[in-house]
Structure 1
Amino acid sequence: MKLFTLTLTLVTTTFLTTLGSAQDKATDYLDKRWSEVANKMPSDWYGSNEAKLVAENVLLSQKAIGGWEKNKNFHHHFSESEKADYRNNKNKIGATFDNGATITELKFLAKVYAKIKDDRYRQAFRKGLDYIFVTQYANGGWPQFFPVRKGSVAYSGHITYNDYAMVNIMKFLKEIGSDTEEYAALQLGPNIITKAKRAFDKGIQCFLDTQIVYQGKPAVWCAQHDSITLAPAKARSYELPSFSGSESVGIVQLLMDIDNPSKEIVASVNGAVQWFENNRIEGIKIETETKKDGRKNRIVVEDKNAPTLWGRFYDLETSTIYFCSRDGIKRKSLAEISDDRRNGYSWYTNAPEKVLKRYPKWLAKNQKSMN
């Protein structure tokens, strides 16, 4: 009897533990970021009832033009007022590629459609894909927002590399053009695949055409470029035309991913790598101190053993790092700018190290293209 009771207890405990674990998996998506839910949930989850609920939000929030707004938690419950707001503002501007928007939603729809063949998901995906094609400039670039916002945010019409906006689009198009398994269920067809390839190729040409030439050699890129002249362009008041030590990384990595690169692409990568090599910042690290009033403050500390850093922005004439407050005046050190910009913005990066680590292997692989 004792043995039976012990066995029953163990079985019951195991069952409850398994049930609890399953319930946790069914609800823990609410605690995640939207980008994680859209891209990183277990494959089976995208066929769940929870995924269906999220998909309804994604369908409802899609703009009439085909894109989505940024920084929205589409996996959270929508109140009736929120639903009404999305319905009433479908024609209002706000669709964007900023912060991963539109690309994230399209990837999610593809995953859900692969599990649940609801044709509304497929139609929304095609509409979003058409948005990408329509918004591409003739020169191959993409704006941050389309339609472009007016007034003080008109910079949203610039060709935007900031926060990897265009790089995200290009990676997505490369996947579509490669007819990867991830999108097989959508049955996009040869015409769409060809269109994606052409859009991708135009984007590559835009990268090559916008690369800044410094002292007669290709260098890196600005975070945004004028949509007509292709010149480095200003965005927010503290984001001046410059060499970007951050956003340029994603472009170079994408160029390095191309098989059998042209001589132009090889020259572009070589030039960017050399610029990264020439503009290393050694012997410092960034720390956060606590001031007497309890506020946090970022400071630069000397440390000969610190890993290499690069600045976010470099002057176009001198190729020297600079910092900027909202007044738009360049300054030489982090300590010279306002508290909100010093502590609320990233002025240093180690991202170029990724490129430099890949470069020797890439160089060896593409020696023939250099002859």
Structure 2
Amino acid sequence: MKHLLLGLVLLHSPFAAAQSLTQSDATDVLHKVIDFYRSKVGYEGAYLYRYAADFSAQEGEEPATRTSGWTEPPGTPFVGEAHLKAWRLSGDKACLDAAVEVADALVRSQLESGGWSSSFELGAAGRGRYAYRVDGASRGKRNYTTFDDNKSQSAVTLLMHVDEALDFQDERIHEAVEYALSHMLASQYPNGAWPQQFSEPPDPAQFPVLKASYPKTWSRTYPKKNYVGYYTLNDSNMSRIIDMLLEANRIYDRDDCFQAAQKTGDFFLLAQMPEPQPGWAQQYNRDMHPAWARKFEPASITGGESQTVMRSLLKLYEYTGKEKFIETLPAAIDYYRRSLLPDGRLARFYELQTNRPLYFTVDYKLTDSDADMPTHYAFKVGSKLDSLERQLNKLQKSVAAGDRPEFQPSRPVKLTASVEKKAQQAIDQLDDRGAWVESGKMKHQPERLPVIDMRTYAKNLEAIAAFVGAGPPRRAVCVVGR
């Protein structure tokens, strides 16, 4: 049986049934948990995905050093957002302090190009390879900002949220945001698209504004070309950029960010393929032809990222009221409905013009059979077409009525039995140190082992913080005769 922190008893013990968790006790637990994760799990505000419970190993997307952080969720920015949410729910300064520490780690790891790499180093031994702004003349040469997998987008969004929480009084954080936004805006292509990675702004003369079209021929064999400068929709990169830009506009009233978000929507319209496949590819070359990226990402029409593109176009319509962002959505939804697989899902890839579903064998040979697929990648994706169509119909009515999105900040919840129960369950699962330990797998270890996972931390931290800051419930009203 696990020991509870600070003298609290287990909920399932005979004594616990007669006791109620107090907000004061939960606050003590909250402080101990945050202190443990800040001092023992993270490194000066840098966080990875998961750690061996004994700290013998740690990893982000791959094994990492003890002094490194990862930018892709659930890495450093994800943990910072969890701390901010806990602060908004609880009002406890310890949560805000933890978020500020994360923001400081991101300031220290911001590249000269303006954004962040997949991972970063805070330890002296590993920093020399990267062009970190704060390192001045001693900085290294690796200077590629990446938008892949919501990395730089989540980093600058966390910095913006911390800047806002501090009333824009921390000059170092505020300046890092300004630097990131200005350099990211400069990296946008003339047609409104964005690269997967960049180190400097593009030369506009090299990137003509064209409508998407089919190439005369396309290779069924991986061409091994550098794709980081392609117009990249893969992993919802541009949709995440739109979210980041809209948030920058909300926080700083920056019209340049709002216009850049709309320009990305204009690219989505350019990138929609003509008949017979009015959908989208995962990436395009500068000729606006669907192109290969990695060895399992062929030139094709995608049933995956296309749905996120449609969701972003709906969001831009909601924010702007401009009909152009939704005019071609019915044709796209109809096309993808015709492309559904027998099980109701969509293929990740459809062959250009023939619309045959495409897959790969485990040794990465392109095929139209799904009998021998690798397991690391989703070659079939769920259909959100019904949801998209419902949202389109709903927005057409609300936008016509003049409605626009309103910011809804997180607020303390009402104190209910359910809120208390979730907090108590989270506390019951803690070990003596103040850690949530579970069985999991790590890349260095073929067998399952006890791990500390940052997604679990975020979920359970929220549960405790919600209880700490919960207010009295609304009084029930008894109506006679009912």
Same fold (TM over 0.5): yes
Structure 1 residues 240 and 142 mapped into 2: Cα distance closer, same or farther (>3 Å)? same
1:219 matched to 2:278 = yes
In 2: Cα distance, 1:36 partner to 1:133 partner = 23
Deviation at 1:363, TM superposition (A): 5.4
Superposed CA deviations along residues 291-328 of structure 1, whole A, max 9, x for unmatched, are xxxxxxxxxxxxxxxxx211111111211211024876
In 2: Cα distance, 1:328 partner to 1:356 partner = 35
Equivalence map 1:1-371=2 (5 Å): 18-28=27-37, 30=41, 33-41=75-83, 42=85, 44=87, 48-70=96-118, 72=119, 78-86=122-130, 87=135, 88-89=138-139, 91-116=141-166, 117-147=169-199, 152=224, 154-177=226-249, 180=250, 183=251, 188=252, 193-215=254-276, 219-226=278-285, 228-257=286-315, 258-259=317-318, 261-283=321-343, 308-325=344-361, 329-337=365-373, 342-353=374-385, 354-362=387-395
In 1: Cα distance, 2:141 partner to 2:272 partner = 35
Contact map agreement 1:238 1:326 (CA 8 A) in 2: no
SS of the equivalent of 1:154 reads coil
Contact map agreement 1:280 1:310 (CA 8 A) in 2: yes
Contact map agreement 1:64 1:90 (CA 8 A) in 2: no
Deviation at 1:38, TM superposition (A): 3.1
Q: Match of 2:216? A: none
Structure 1 residues 19 and 363 mapped into 2: Cα distance closer, same or farther (>3 Å)? closer
In 2: Cα distance, 1:102 partner to 1:282 partner = 38
Deviation at 1:360, TM superposition (A): 4.0
SS of the equivalent of 2:160 reads helix
In 2: Cα distance, 1:18 partner to 1:38 partner = 19
Structure 1 residues 309 and 135 mapped into 2: Cα distance closer, same or farther (>3 Å)? same
Q: Match of 1:288? A: none
Deviation at 1:203, TM superposition (A): 1.1
TM-score (norm 1): 0.73
Contact map agreement 2:31 2:94 (CA 8 A) in 1: no
Deviation at 1:367, TM superposition (A): 8.4
Deviation at 1:336, TM superposition (A): 3.7
Deviation at 1:248, TM superposition (A): 0.6
In 2: Cα distance, 1:73 partner to 1:20 partner = 31
Contact map agreement 1:64 1:91 (CA 8 A) in 2: no
Contact map agreement 1:140 1:199 (CA 8 A) in 2: yes
Structure 1 residues 47 and 40 mapped into 2: Cα distance closer, same or farther (>3 Å)? closer
In 2: Cα distance, 1:115 partner to 1:264 partner = 36
Contact map agreement 2:159 2:173 (CA 8 A) in 1: yes
TM-score (norm 2): 0.58
In 2: Cα distance, 1:319 partner to 1:344 partner = 24
SS of the equivalent of 1:99 reads helix
Q: Which amino acid aligns with 2:31?
A: A
Deviation at 1:162, TM superposition (A): 0.2
Deviation at 1:167, TM superposition (A): 0.8
Structure 1 residues 35 and 153 mapped into 2: Cα distance closer, same or farther (>3 Å)? farther
**What is the total number of aligned residue pairs between the two structures?**
310
Superposed CA deviations along residues 43-62 of structure 1, whole A, max 9, x for unmatched, are 53686443343223211111
Deviation at 1:115, TM superposition (A): 3.6
Deviation at 1:247, TM superposition (A): 0.5
Superposed CA deviations along residues 136-183 of structure 1, whole A, max 9, x for unmatched, are 0011100000038xx956211001100011111112112223xx2xx2
Q: CA RMSD in A?
A: 3.1
Contact map agreement 1:237 1:326 (CA 8 A) in 2: no
Q: Which amino acid aligns with 1:255?
A: L
SS of the equivalent of 1:109 reads helix
In 2: Cα distance, 1:271 partner to 1:264 partner = 13
Contact map agreement 1:96 1:146 (CA 8 A) in 2: yes
SS of the equivalent of 1:323 reads strand
Q: Which amino acid aligns with 1:143?
A: P
**Bigger mean CA offset, 90-99 vs 350-359:** 350-359
In 2: Cα distance, 1:322 partner to 1:316 partner = 10
In 1: Cα distance, 2:236 partner to 2:94 partner = 26
Contact map agreement 2:224 2:295 (CA 8 A) in 1: no
Structure 1 residues 309 and 106 mapped into 2: Cα distance closer, same or farther (>3 Å)? same
Q: Which amino acid aligns with 2:182?
A: D
Mark the runs of 5 or more structure 1 residues left unpaired by the alignment: 1-9, 284-307
SS of the equivalent of 1:142 reads coil
In 2: Cα distance, 1:349 partner to 1:278 partner = 15
Structure 1 residues 18 and 124 mapped into 2: Cα distance closer, same or farther (>3 Å)? closer
SS of the equivalent of 1:335 reads coil
Mark the runs of 5 or more structure 2 residues left unpaired by the alignment: 1-18, 42-49, 51-73, 88-92, 201-222, 402-482
Q: Match of 2:466? A: none
Q: Match of 1:293? A: none
Q: Which amino acid aligns with 1:167?
A: S
In 2: Cα distance, 1:14 partner to 1:160 partner = 47
In 2: Cα distance, 1:273 partner to 1:329 partner = 30
Structure 1 residues 331 and 135 mapped into 2: Cα distance closer, same or farther (>3 Å)? same
